[in-house]
Each structure stands twice: as structure tokens, then as C-alpha cells.
Amino acid sequence: MNEELLKKLYSINSPSGKETDMENFVIEFVSGISGVNFWSDKRGNIYAEKRGSEIGSEFPCIVAHLDEVHTRDFGCHYSTQRVGGILFGFDLSTDSFVGCGADDKNGIFIALSCLEKYDHIKVAFFVEEEIGCRGSSAADMSFFKDCRFVLQADRRNGSDFISRASFVDLCSAEFIADVNMEKFGYKEAAGSMTDVMTLKENGLNVSCCNLSCGYYNPHTENEYTKIYELNNCLDFVQSIIEGCTKVYKHNYEKGKWDGYGKWDGYGKWGYNSYGKWGTYGKWGYNSYGKWGYKETDWGLDESKYLDISDSDLDESDEPKYLDYDKTYNKVVDFIVKLYCENKEINIDVLEDEFPLVDFDILNSAYEEVMGESIYF
């Protein structure tokens, strides 16, 4: 993996509506790749293509967005730090975390990496995704008329294959079957608004999807990337490009009201089995007496709320009620924070903070960040 390219992307601050520095970098980078034709539209979206020897054949296509939510303060001395397999942003002038904008610089990284590697490919970079997908809403849809499919890497964590977003189906069953997501540890999930969903609403007639690309805590100063998961996403994207060589047709169909007081498919409002209102990707009241963000499937148990912490549980509750992935990532967050604050990290500190979490989870998280077992 070209870690220097990734760090360079992280170093560029590109808040929505002020993406000029990122646009200039992408144009400069693309200009240095042999055989690439590229252009920009009046919104600032960038389109690039390489036409190889496969004359007349359709293109694999990757899209990403150029903007981020972070605006770095004047005087911020930004530095990308690596601890074990974790990358994150740090302000050396204040000794504090700062958002690196991995959402969606990880996606830009994947798009540029594939543009370098393949001789027959299209990529597009959109402005202002974070403030309503304004760039992709005004995209030149003719650019996509000869594409096999459209991929976007703009999803947190490392395992979601977003096949449906905000009531919109994104891809065909045939495409889902052919990508072989299980080989790379991915599973189907539903997501929210992003550029591929907007393209689909604008008439994109081939399958598209959004993929997890290894970033965590997006839109916060504690954002970080798991390098292994970003690499795995890149491998998955390249596998799709190389293995899915036909056109995967799929037309947009708007979600319909199903007659039972809720929307069909994922992401529907309804009364769940715990007697509380909740929805996929919406706020719902959990059984521990606090509001929490539920990002998993409709009607699952209360352990799937993001903001469950050990303080929410009684001594009688067993660790099995903690969602493994959420708990593991919280431990990683905590270890990275301690490391950056030059505080002691040992098993006693972790067990005090997470008294109900199994040792194996604590040790695995420690190994991922620090590169060794907690006892060595």
C-alpha cells in the first residue's frame, strides 16, 4: 500500500465548499499517470478515464468525494501518526487529536490507486458530499453510460457491503452474488445517503454499492484508520474489477410504503420487540434507559446500540450482551487515546475501564495498536 499517498491526502484539509487544495492535488496526481484523460465540470467534480486496449468494452468505475467535515484551526500543526496498524491525525501544536478526514480520503486513495493500476477504468471525484451530495447531484450522467458497475468506498468500519441506502436498492442480486464478498469478510448492510445513492436516483442504470474502507469515528476529532482494513477494501475492489467483467444492469426503484405503517426493506420506522421506536440508522430508545444510535438491522437486541458502555450494565449482566465489534473498537479508541496522551497502558487500566469485557478482546485490541501482547 502506498502509505505516503494516504498520508499526503490526510494532510490536505478540504472542508465542504473549500475543496480547492484537494482538487488541485488530485488533478496533479492524475496528470502524472500515463494515458489518463481528465476534466472538471463547473461544480468542481473531476472525471478521469483510461481507455486501454479493450476498445468498445465497458468500464469499471470508482467514485469518491473530495470534501470532509473537518475545518482545521489556523495554526494547526497537522501530522499523521501511526501506532501499530492505526493511522490518525494529530495537532502537534496542541498535543491533541484532529480529524484526518479519512471519510472520504480513504475512498480517494482507493480510486487513485486503481487508476494507477488498471489500463481501462473510470473514476470520478465529487465535491460537497457532506452537505447533501451537491456535487453528485449535478454529475454528468453521460460519464457513466458505458460502465459495468460503480463502486464507492465511503463507509466506516471494515465489513459493510452497502446494497441499499435510504430506501434505495443499489444493485442487482447477480452483482451481489458475483462479487464474492465473503472472501474478504464483507456482509450486506443498509446505509444512508452518499454519492452512489444520488447517482442511482439520477438515473444510473448499472449496479453500484458503498464499501467499508477501514475508517472509524468519522466526523470526530478521534477519527482513525485501520490500515489492514483499508488494504482489504482495496483488495476487494480490485477483485471486483478483475472478476466482474460484464455489465450489471440495475434500474432505480423508489422505496414504497408497504401498507403496514412502515417502509419496505431496510431503514423503516416501526415498533420494535423491546417496546420502543427505532429504525435502521436512526435514533431509538434502548432498554438501558438512554438514547442510542442503532446501526444494525431492525428489531435486534439492545446490545446493538453504539453508545452502550459498561456503566449501562448491572453486575449481573454477562459480557455476551456486548456487541463484539462495537466493544472492540471502543477499546482500540481508548488505547490510542492513552498512547497519544503518554499515559500508562496495562491490563489493570483496561480492566478498570471495561470491567465486563473479556480479556481476549482487551488483548486483541492492545495487540492491534501496540503490535505486541499486553503482557510483553
Query: What is the distance between the alpha carbons of residues 195 and 312, in angstroms, rounded to a whole number?
Result: 36
pLDDT of 26 reads 98
Query: DSSP states of 165-183 as a string?
Result: ETTEE-S-HHHHHHT-GGG
Please spell the DSSP secondary structure of 200-258, one letter per residue. Answer: HHTT--B-EEEEEEEEESTTSTT-EEEHHHHHHHHHHHHHHHHH--S--B-------B-
In this structure, are residues 209 and 190 in contact, taking their beta carbons and an 8 Å threshold?
no
280/297 Cα distance (integer angstroms):
6
pLDDT band at 103 (very low <50, low <70, confident <90, very high): very high
Residue predicted with more confidence, 283 or 158:
158
Name which of 130-134, 278-282, 364-368 the model is least confident about: 278-282
pLDDT above 50: residue 213:
yes
Q: 241 pLDDT exceeds 70?
A: yes
In the chain, the amino acid numbered 279 is T
Q: Cα separation of 77 and 49, whole Å?
A: 35
In single-letter form, the type of residue at position 325 comes to D
Angle, alpha carbons 170-192-23 (nearest 5°): 90
Highest mean pLDDT pick, 59-63, 187-191, 265-269: 59-63
Residue 321 has a pLDDT of: 36
- The model's pLDDT over 158-199, given as tens digits with 9 standing for 90+, comes to 999 999 988 889 999 999 999 999 999 999 999 988 999 999
- 345 has pLDDT over 60: yes
What is the spatial distance between Cα 336 and Cα 86, in angstroms, rounded to a whole number? 8
Answer with the residue of higher pLDDT: 251 or 365: 251
Q: Determine phi and psi for 91, rounding to 5 degrees.
A: -95, 105
- Identify the pLDDT of residue 54: 64
* Contact partners, residue 374, CB within 8 Å, separation at least 6: 346, 347, 350, 362, 363, 366, 367
β-bridge pairing 224-226 and 187-191: unpaired
Q: What is the predicted pLDDT for the residue at 316?
A: 39
- CA dihedral (70, 73, 75, 76) in degrees, to 10, reads -40
Sign of CA dihedral 198, 201, 205, 208: positive
**Coil, strand or helix at 305:** strand
Q: What local confidence, expressed as pLDDT, does residue 56 receive? A: 59
- Spell out the residues 6+ positions from residue 248 whose beta carbon is closer than 8 angstroms to its own: 148, 149, 171, 172, 174, 175, 178, 206, 207
Query: Residue 1 — very low, low, confident or very high, per pLDDT cuts 50/70/90?
Result: confident
259 vs 210, which has greater pLDDT?
Answer: 210
Q: What are phi and psi of 320, to 5 degrees?
A: -60, -20
- Model confidence at 339: pLDDT above 60: yes
Long-range contacts of 229-233 (CB under 8 A, 24+ apart): 229/157, 229/158, 230/1, 230/6, 230/106, 230/109, 230/110, 231/1, 232/158, 232/184, 232/185, 233/106, 233/110, 233/153, 233/158, 233/184
Domains and CATH numbers, the chain: 3-243 (3.40.630.10), 270-370 (no CATH)
Q: What does the pLDDT average to over 256-267?
A: 39
At residue 62, the 3 state secondary structure works out as: strand
Check residue 292 and give its pLDDT: 36
Neighbours of 260 (CB within 10 A): 9
- pLDDT above 50: residue 34: yes
Q: Which of 174, 24, 48, 167 is nearest to 118 (CA)?
A: 48
Q: 249 pLDDT exceeds 90?
A: yes
Instruction: Tell me the pLDDT tens digit for each residue of 105-132.
Output: 999 999 999 999 999 999 999 999 999 9
Higher pLDDT, 25 or 347: 25
* Identity of the highest mean pLDDT range in 27-36, 55-64, 319-328: 27-36
pTM of the complete model: 0.75
Predicted pLDDT of residue 253:
80
pLDDT at 331 over 50: yes
